Amino acid sequence: MRARIDRPRVVDSPRVALSTVARDATRAETTMASNLPPAAEESSFAPSTRARSANDGLGSTTSANATPAHELGADQLLIDVANYVIGYEIKSRDAVKTCRFAILDFVACALRGARDPSCAKLLGPCVPGIECKFGAHVPGTEYYLDPVTATFNASTCARWCDYNDSFYSAEWVHPSDVIGAILSVSEYVSRLRNDRGLSVLSMRDVIVATIKAYEIVGVLALDNSFNQIGVDHGVLTRAAVAAVTTSMLGGGRLEVMYATSQAFIDGSGLRCFRHYPCVGTRKGWAAGDAAARGVSLALMTMRGETGYLGALSAPVWGFNDVFYRRQEIVLKRDFGEFVMENVVFKPSFPSEIHAQTAIEAAFRLHPQVVHRVDEVHSVAVHTTRSAVRSIDKTGPLNGPADRDHCLQYTVAIALLYGNMTSDHYEDSVASDPRVDELRRKILIAENPQYSADYVDPDRRSCSNSIQVHFKDRTSTNKFEIEYPVGHRRRRMEGFPALEKKFISSLHTTFPPERAGFIFERVTDAQIFDALTPMDFMELFNATPHPVLLPPMRAAPGVFDYTPIDNRASTLVPRLANGASVHAVDGAEGA
CATH number of the domain that residue 461 is part of: 3.30.1330.120
Between CA 361 and CA 276 the distance in angstroms is: 26
pLDDT range class, residue 548, cuts 50, 70, 90: low
75 SS3 class: strand
Q: Which residues contact 319 (CB under 8 A, 6 or more apart)?
A: 264, 265, 267, 311, 312, 329
Task: Give the pTM.
Answer: 0.81
Q: Domain check: are 539 and 443 in the same one?
A: no
> Could you tell me what percent of the chain has a pLDDT over 90?
66
Across-strand partners of 465?
Answer: 382, 480
pLDDT range class, residue 277, cuts 50, 70, 90: confident
Q: Which among 154, 492, 485, 538 has a CA at the least distance from the CA of 351?
A: 485
Q: What is the mean pLDDT of the chain?
A: 83
Q: Domain check: are 323 and 396 in the same one?
A: no
In a domain, 471, yes or no: yes
DSSP state of 317: T
pLDDT range class, residue 52, cuts 50, 70, 90: very low
Between CA 351 and CA 359 the distance in angstroms is: 9
Between CA 210 and CA 491 the distance in angstroms is: 19
DSSP symbols for 527-570: HHHHS-HHHHHHHT-SS--GGG-PPTT-SSS-EEEEE-SSS-EE
pLDDT of residue 590: 33
Q: Domain check: are 311 and 454 in the same one?
A: no
Q: Domain check: are 215 and 66 in the same one?
A: yes
Q: Domain check: are 81 and 101 in the same one?
A: yes
Q: Domain check: are 337 and 364 in the same one?
A: no
Highest mean pLDDT among 41-45, 87-91, 230-234: 87-91
Q: Domain check: are 546 and 566 in the same one?
A: yes
In a domain, 585, yes or no: no
Q: Domain check: are 433 and 337 in the same one?
A: no
Q: Is the peptide bond before 14 cis (omega within 30 degrees of 0)?
A: yes
183 SS3 class: helix
pLDDT above 80: residue 246:
yes
Q: Which residues contact 429 (CB under 8 A, 6 or more apart)?
A: 413, 423, 435
Between CA 173 and CA 202 the distance in angstroms is: 27
Q: Are 287 and 174 in contact (CB under 8 A)?
A: yes
pLDDT of residue 170: 84
Q: Which residues contact 301 (CB under 8 A, 6 or more apart)?
A: 62, 242, 246, 251, 255, 258, 259, 262, 307
Q: Domain check: are 193 and 120 in the same one?
A: yes
pLDDT above 80: residue 546:
no
In a domain, 238, yes or no: yes
Classify strands 376-383 and 464-470 as parallel, antiparallel or unpaired: antiparallel
382 SS3 class: strand
In a domain, 493, yes or no: no
pLDDT of residue 83: 96
pLDDT of residue 36: 36
pLDDT of residue 549: 52
> Could you tell me what percent of the chain has a pLDDT over 70?
80
In a domain, 534, yes or no: yes
Boundary of a domain, candidates 342, 372, 395? 342
Q: Is the peptide bond before 433 cis (omega within 30 degrees of 0)?
A: no
Higher-scoring residue by pLDDT: 60, 465: 465
pLDDT above 60: residue 30:
no
Between CA 109 and CA 534 the distance in angstroms is: 20
In a domain, 501, yes or no: no
In a domain, 590, yes or no: no
Q: Domain check: are 333 and 461 in the same one?
A: no
Where is 415: in which H helix or E strand?
helix 407-417
**pLDDT, tens digit (0-9, with 9 covering 90-100), for 486-535:** 999 999 999 999 999 999 999 999 999 999 999 999 999 999 999 999 99
Q: Using a CB cutoff of 8 Å and minimum separation of 24, what contacts does 427-436 make? A: 427/399, 430/397, 430/403, 434/373, 435/409
In a domain, 496, yes or no: no
pLDDT above 50: residue 275:
yes
Q: Amino acid letter at 232? A: D
pLDDT above 50: residue 68:
no
Highest mean pLDDT among 55-69, 217-231, 340-354: 340-354
Higher-scoring residue by pLDDT: 39, 262: 262
Q: Are 140 and 250 in contact (CB under 8 A)?
A: no
Q: Name which of 92-96, 222-226, 356-360, 372-376 the model is least confident about.
A: 222-226
Cβ-based burial of 457 (10 A; exposed 0-12, middle 13-18, buried ≥19): exposed
pLDDT above 70: residue 550:
no
Angle at 208 (CA atoms; ends 204, 214), nearest 5 degrees: 135
Average pLDDT over residues 118-137: 92
pLDDT of residue 545: 63
Q: Which among 201, 45, 51 has a CA at the least distance from the CA of 568?
A: 201
Q: Domain check: are 323 and 260 in the same one?
A: yes
pLDDT range class, residue 97, cuts 50, 70, 90: very high
Q: Amino acid letter at 135? A: G
Cβ-based burial of 432 (10 A; exposed 0-12, middle 13-18, buried ≥19): middle
Q: Which among 176, 188, 177, 116 has a CA at the least distance from the CA of 148?
A: 188
Distances (CA, A) of 197 to 40, 178, 545, 549: 17, 29, 20, 23
pLDDT of residue 499: 96
pLDDT range class, residue 474, cuts 50, 70, 90: very high
pLDDT of residue 547: 55
Average pLDDT over residues 435-456: 94
Range of the domain at 368: 353-484
Q: Domain check: are 336 and 358 in the same one?
A: no
pLDDT above 70: residue 21:
no
Compute the CA torsion angle 107, 108, 109, 111 (nearest 10 deg). 80
pLDDT above 90: residue 77:
yes
Between CA 121 and CA 566 the distance in angstroms is: 36
The 10 Å Cβ neighbour count of residue 465 is 19
pLDDT range class, residue 279, cuts 50, 70, 90: confident
Q: Are 352 and 390 in contact (CB under 8 A)?
A: yes
Torsion region of 230: left, alpha or beta (phi above 0 gives left; psi -120 to 50 gives alpha): left
- What is the tally of structural domains in the chain? 3
pLDDT of residue 47: 37
